[in-house]
Amino acid sequence: MHEQETCVAVRDVLSRVGDKWSVLVVSMLRDRPLRFSELRRTIEGISQRMLTLTLRGLERDGLVARTVTPTVPPRVDYALTDLGRTLLDPVLALAAWADGHRGEIARARERFDRKDPGKQD
Amino acid sequence: MHEQETCVAVRDVLSRVGDKWSVLVVSMLRDRPLRFSELRRTIEGISQRMLTLTLRGLERDGLVARTVTPTVPPRVDYALTDLGRTLLDPVLALAAWADGHRGEIARARERFDRKDPGKQD
DNA sequence: CAGAATCCCCTAGGATACTG
DNA sequence: CAGTATCCTAGGGGATTCTG
């Protein structure tokens, strides 16, 4: 599994998944396409700069399709591609893991921080 | 799924998974415990600073257990905990996805970059 | 051997202002 | 409405040096 190329590919997907907004955006598009402004309103906390950058990244990787309707004002819809849809499964599995074990993780952290005081403020 | 708390928990696990070394370290520990120096040699490219930090983070989250044998020179072994082992499945699924679709992703990028020249140097 | 400390750089990401 | 363009900062991560 570690033939270098694979390793690089995996790391670069993981860093995409690990960035602050990509997974959230993808999961928002799960049911139907959404407009830029809908994403912006729904996601809460995202700046429009980061929404743009995140969508560009996802589009570049072929996970999201961008459709412009050239009206005035313009309308732009974003939808998951087939490829993007296949990503949903493993990502949601990981999210489920995170949700299912967050209690254990929180307790582990408390224990660790109690043993090792002053290191984390 | 987006009750805020869950969302935060998920994001923080994803950022762990998305950092440069954590997943690689966890996957190296899949079969048996390893010493610090074994990890350092096997991983290739990691600085000992980042190996230390990564291991501390994993230990803090309860994913990895650290065992010190107080000899001279000291010996320190790292092993996956049960919790860490349960993470293996979803993470490897994601890695498999990344490996399985890296061709598609690469092609999507080429297409995108051809359409939009000069933006990514 | 297994680290802690230090220095330094670079990028992710936020805030704000402007435009077609 | 759906973006660019700027400016700015916190922190991830590398290289190097020191120590029990």
Distance in angstroms (rounded) separating the CA atoms of residues B23 and B46 = 13
Query: What percent of chain A has pLDDT above 70?
Result: 94
Distance in angstroms (rounded) separating the CA atoms of residues B98 and B107 = 14
Within 13 Å, how many C-alpha atoms sit on residue A50's CB side?
Answer: 12
- Whether B115 shows a pLDDT value over 50: the answer reads yes
Q: Which residue among B1, B23, B99 places its CB closest to the CB of A9?
A: B99
> Which residues are CB-neighbours of B88 under 8 A, at least 6 positions away?
B26, B27, B30, B80
Residue A17 Cβ under 7 A from any strand D atom: no
Residue with tokens 């890296």: B102
pLDDT digits (tens, 9 = 90+) for B68-87: 999 999 999 999 999 999 99
On strand D, nucleotides with any atom < 7 Å from a protein CB are 1-6, 12-17, 20
Q: Which nucleotide is nearest to A40 (CA to C1')?
A: D2
Mean pLDDT (chain A, rounded): 93
Domain ranges of chain A: 2-115
pLDDT band of A65, cuts 50, 70, 90: very high
pLDDT in the model for residue A118: 55
Alpha carbon A55 to its chain's center: 10
- Whether A121 shows a pLDDT value over 50: the answer reads no
Terminal-residue alpha carbon distance, chain A: 39
pLDDT digits (tens, 9 = 90+) for B39-56: 999 999 999 999 999 999
- The partner residues of A69 in beta bridges, in order of sequence, read A75
Distance in angstroms (rounded) separating the CA atoms of residues B38 and B42 = 6
Å separating the CA of residue B78 from the C1' of nucleotide C4 = 19
Q: Which value, in Å, is the radius of gyration of the alpha carbons in chain A?
A: 18
- CATH level 3 topology of B2-115: Arc Repressor Mutant, subunit A (1.10.10)
pLDDT digits (tens, 9 = 90+) for A77-115: 999 999 999 999 999 999 999 999 999 999 999 999 998
